[in-house]
Structures are given as C-alpha cells and as structure tokens.
Chains A and B, each alone.
Chain A
C-alpha cells in the first residue's frame, strides 16, 4: 500500500461510484487529505499586485512601498507553518520526491493563467550542484518552459532566506539573459514562476531583465506568498 509523502500514514483514497463505473485506473494521490488541508489556499480576495491573502481587494502595504515598480503576481498558497515545513524538507533537505505534492495544484494554477512563455526562476550553479535539482522546474509535469534567465551573481555570501527584509531589498541584480533570449521573448507575454514571494525583490529583478529582452508583458506565479 502506498503511503502519504508527508505524514507516512497509509493512503486510503475514497472511491466514488463515478470512478467505479468509469472502469479506468484509479487516480493515485501522493498525500492524504489531512496533509493537503494543512496548506492554506489563497482565495479570490487578495492583493492585486503581490497576491497576498487579505480581506479586501486593495493594494497591500508592502506593494505600496514598491511604488512604481509594478508586478502582477498570483500565489497559490499562503506561507504558513505547513508550507514552511514542506519547503524545508523539499528545498533545504533536498527531498526531490516531495515535488509530486505540488504538481497537481500548480498545474491547475498554471491553467488559470494566460501567457505565451513560461520562465522559471533559475538556481545558481553551486546550489544546483549541492541540491541536484531546481525546485521550481521540479514541480512542472510536462508543461513547456524556456530557461532564458541565467544566474550571474555566484557570490551568494548567505542564502536569501537567511536575510532580513532590508538586506533583501538591497540585493543586486543577480540575473542575466541567455543568448537565445531575444528570439524567445520578443513581443510575448511571459509568466515567471518561483517558489516563494517574500519581498518581491527576486521577481522584480527577473522581470526587469525579461522586459529588456523585449517581452510585451510579464506576470508571475508563485507557490506561496
């Protein structure tokens, strides 16, 4: 019997009559209902810029502080304890199998977005060597994407997640465009994909580069906010 990837309890998915009469192989879940409910989905009322969960549809305080540097971001889940624990195990402990947990929710979210080209945020060479995977592309099932961004700043003295807000905002532009970027981006609507939106610094740096590459519009999607 298969087990839940997060809590290791045996999975007993309920079978509906509709599934029974379909005569198809049963869909196999990878996590149990209880674990997936720990993640808190962001509802329709959220900040129109960063996608933060709130009670009204006005621009939130953090986005206000960004001023003119607009970015349109959507997020799937709030960054709560369960998401923090998930990120810890997936990204920092490097449990690549946990990518399956977020595949289906992210696929649904991607279907709701309108875009021409999907651009995931890359990881730098050192991280790639140590971690062995890019946490963002790991979630993609077989959606086509273009790796047009390159990480140039290889001198990460400390990881982004260990900095304060002030330190994060001072981060220099870490991205550059790949040689084929102009051909891919020209006149297209681009969707950036990242794991967590915290201050919005990374995504804005990426968006700047994408605009330089000649894109028509840039929006972004993150798993958590």
Chain B
C-alpha cells in the first residue's frame, strides 16, 4: 500500500488510502459541465465512455482519471529533517551585479511575493537564485524547481545536487524510473506538478516562456494548484512574454532585472535582411546569393555558425542547396533526431563547422565563438521570445563576447521588430550599468 509520506501534498488516484487522508472525486459535475479535479480543466461533452464514466483527456498522459476514481491527499506538513550546517555548498562567486540581483530576490522571497527574474541570456540565472534558495530551505520550506523542458531538469539536477549536497532531492519527469520519494527539494517538469496539491511554499519556474508552458492553460493552473495558498513563485526567463510583462506593469509580479551579461558586454543586435520569396526559390533548389555569400565568407574565415530554419521539412532542401552552392561540411539537427546529443557535442568539440537546425536549439545550448543566421525569421514559429533566445546564443563566452546575428526574411514582421526592440531595451538598461559595446 501507499506510504503515508508519499501522499504529503500530493493528489493521487488510489483504491484506498491511509486513514488520515482526504478523499474527493476525481471528476465533479458543476452545472451541466464536468471538471477534472487534477488538472482543473473542463471535459468535453464527448468525453464519455460506454460504461457511463467520464474521463479527462487533458491529463491523460499521467494516467487516465475517470469519474470512478477518487483523489487522495494529505495536507503538506513540512516534516523534514533539519539540514546540516552549510546549506549552500556551492564554491563559486557571484559577480557584483549578480550579487545585487540575488539580494533583490532574497528580499522579495522573505516578503513571499510572486516575482520574476528577467535576466539576459547568459547571465547565470541559476546561480543568482542559490542564496534565496538556501534561505528558503533553512526555513523548512518545501521547494520545487520546475521547467517545461525535461532537458533543462536533467541538466540542472547534478548542478543542484552539488550546490546543495546535504539537501535530499527528488527528480521527477515522465521517463523517470525511480519511485517517488518525499523530499524537501523537488526538481521536476511542469507536467509532474499536476500530481501535487498545495505542496510547495516556493516554486521556481525555469524558462517560463518555453514551449509548452507558455501556451498551455493546463500547466499554468498546475503551478497555481501545486503552490500553497501562502506560497509564492519565482519565474526565471530572459524573454518574458506579453502576459508576464503586463503582470509586471500591473505590479502583480515583482521584478528583478539583470540586463547585462557577466562579462559586461551588451547583447548583439539582430540585423534584418530581406530576401524576397526565398521559399519559392528553395523549391527550385536555390538560396539567395546574399545568404550564400555571407555563409561562404564565414567558412573562409573559419567562423562557426548556426543556421536556423522554420520547419523540420526545410532542413533537407536547405542543406542540399548549400551543398550545391559550395558551403559544405554542416549537418542537420531536429527534435526527433536520435543523434541529437552527439551532433551538438560534435559542434561543441569543433569537429563540424556549422549546424542547420530548428528552434530546438533556441535555448539551453552554449557554443563559444559562434555566429547565428536565421532563414525565414518572419515565420510564425519564430516568436519574439524565440528570436531573442536565438540571438542570445551569440557572445556568451568571456573570450568571445561579441558576434553577428542575421535574420533573413521574406518581409518585415512585427515579431522580428519586437525582438529587436526587446534587445535594444535591455541594452539601454545595460548601458546604464556600464555595459560596453566591445
């Protein structure tokens, strides 16, 4: 049977739970509609099974909930063993600017305010949160560090384990094979939060604007449900969307800015070049001469680059067209690619000169000394956030703090202009803090 601890702050469909657990039906009827109690989404009138049970399609991935199920929960008691003396075992040092941001966050956490850390790409967001996280853990708070992307969680897990080596941690995601354990610090994907109810005193949401969280009401409610009524959350991002920026303006969300990278050089601005009807040309196997010339120039100088295309289907024709034009040596990467990790590693090891890729490499990857070219930047898949993130791949390294970002489009687009505006705004703020062009 299920251990009592496993139910602390959780909501699980069981056949029978411990005596002190609270039970509620998984699907309730409100008026003429039905609502799933796990994901708080409405059911469609067609979601009825032939045995008269209703089921929720929205959170089906976590195991099907029907109206025959009951959700068991035990309110979170915060029953943790006290953590050994130095909670933060991280040996690195924050730069003065990072230090200011870290103090700002700590002050707001003490007031239990909802907040946003708006730090440019490559500012060292994770480390900035460490002091506040150490404080929260010392208060016996239960804390979750979540991200919509499983790769971010997997990459973060060893770093957090090292930085807080006396704090027991749990890592949850869809492909996790180890069983669940009750831990003070939980690292998970946003989907896993659906299994929690009023559990966390503080939730840190990494890459809050990333797919699928940004567009999914399901996951947004998951954060609200998993957080205690007295709890608060911290959003981390380099590119907050319209909605978050509005909440900041309305003072619903306190904000800490960090508009300058740790090496103190401003962000590279996006340069737009128009190439008319490039897609029609591509079907004939050709690319714009300006683009070819730029890429040939990069190849001659030995400058490595990333070429972003809008869709997976564009990868092959673009690669073939480049081959024909004499820009050789690159390989393509997309989300479903089995050798994705190996190819990215090869790029890191400088064994290949360039990668042709889709938006999967827009965040979470760092290559020193790289240039970025976007083909078809006016396509709908390149949101403003995606473009700023893509531009943020450039100049992340101390020794190569600058670089070129070129976006080729068929026509001017609002998304590209907003991206340029966001970079310009961050750079204006960065200049005030003493940012340099070179």
Q: Which residues of A contact B (CB under 8 A)?
A: 89, 93-97, 128-129, 132-134, 137-138
> By the criterion CB–CB under 8 Å, are B55 and A94 in contact?
yes
List the A residue with the shortest CB-CB distance to B61. A93
Residues 59-70 of chain B, each 1 if its beta carbon lies under 8 Å from chain A, else 0? 011011010000
Residue in B46, B49, B51, B60 whose CB lies within 8 Å of A93: B60
Out of A89, A97, A134, which one reaches B50, CB within 8 Å? A134
Q: How many angstroms from the CA of A145 to the CA of B323 in the assembled complex? A: 59
| Pairwise interchain contact B51-A133, C-beta atoms closer than 8 A | yes
Given contacts A129-B51, A138-B50, 5 further A-B contacts (CB under 8 A): A89-B60, A94-B55, A96-B47, A97-B47, A132-B49
Instruction: Choose among B50, B60, B61, B63 the residue that contacts A132 (Cβ–Cβ < 8 A).
Output: B50
Contact code string B37-55 (vs A, CB < 8 Å = 1, else 0): 0000000001101110101
Q: Which residues of B in the span 47-101 have a Cβ within 8 Å of any Cβ on A?
A: 47, 49-51, 53, 55, 57, 60-61, 63-64, 66
On whether the beta carbons of A132 and B53 are closer than 8 Å, the reply is yes
| In contact, B49 and A133 (Cβ under 8 angstroms) | yes
Closest Cβ–Cβ distance, residue B175 to chain A (whole Å): 15
| Interface pair B57/A132, CB less than 8 Å apart | no
| Docked pose: A94 CA to B46 CA in angstroms | 14
User: Would B64 and A94 count as touching, CB distance under 8 A?
Assistant: yes
CB distance from A174 to the nearest CB of B (A): 21
Size bin of chain B's contact surface: 10 to 19
Number of A-B contacts (CB under 8 A): 32
6 CB contacts below 8 A, A to B, read A89-B60, A95-B60, A96-B50, A96-B55, A133-B51, A138-B50
Alpha-carbon distance between A97 and B57 when the two chains are bound, in angstroms: 8
In the bound complex, CA of A137 to CA of B49 (Å): 12
A128 CA / B53 CA spacing, docked (Å): 12
Is there an interface contact between B50 and A95, defined as CB atoms closer than 8 Å?
no
Enumerate chain A residues within 8 angstroms of B46, measured Cβ to Cβ. Answer: 97
User: Closest Cβ of chain A: how far from B166's Cβ, in Å?
Assistant: 40
Q: Hey, which chain B residues are within 8 Å of A137, CB to CB?
A: 50
CB B3 to nearest CB in A, in angstroms, measures: 24
Q: Please, how many angstroms separate the alpha-carbon atoms of A96 and B60 in the complex? A: 11
In the complex, which residues 286-321 of chain B have their Cβ closer than 8 Å to any Cβ of chain A?
none
B49 touches A96 (CB 8 A): yes
Which residues does chain A contribute within 8 Å of B50, judged by CB atoms? 96, 132-134, 137-138
A132 to B51, CA, bound (A): 5
Shortest CB-to-CB span from B8 to chain A, Å, is: 27
Q: How many angstroms between the C-alpha atoms of A94 and B66 in the bound complex?
A: 10
| Whole-angstrom distance between the Cβ of A72 and the nearest chain B Cβ | 30
In the bound complex, how far is the Cα of B66 from the Cα of A157, in angstroms?
Answer: 25
Identify which of residues 149-186 in chain B touch chain A, using a CB-to-CB cut-off of 8 Å.
none
Bound form: Cα–Cα A28–B57 in Å:
20
| A-B pairs with lowest CB-CB distance, top 8 | A132-B49, A94-B64, A132-B51, A133-B50, A132-B53, A133-B49, A96-B49, A95-B60
Whether B66 lies near A132 (C-beta < 8 A) is: yes
CB-CB under 8 A from B57, the residues of chain A are 95, 97
How close is B194's CB to chain A, nearest CB, in angstroms?
A: 15
Chain B's nearest CB lies how many Å from the CB of A98?
A: 9
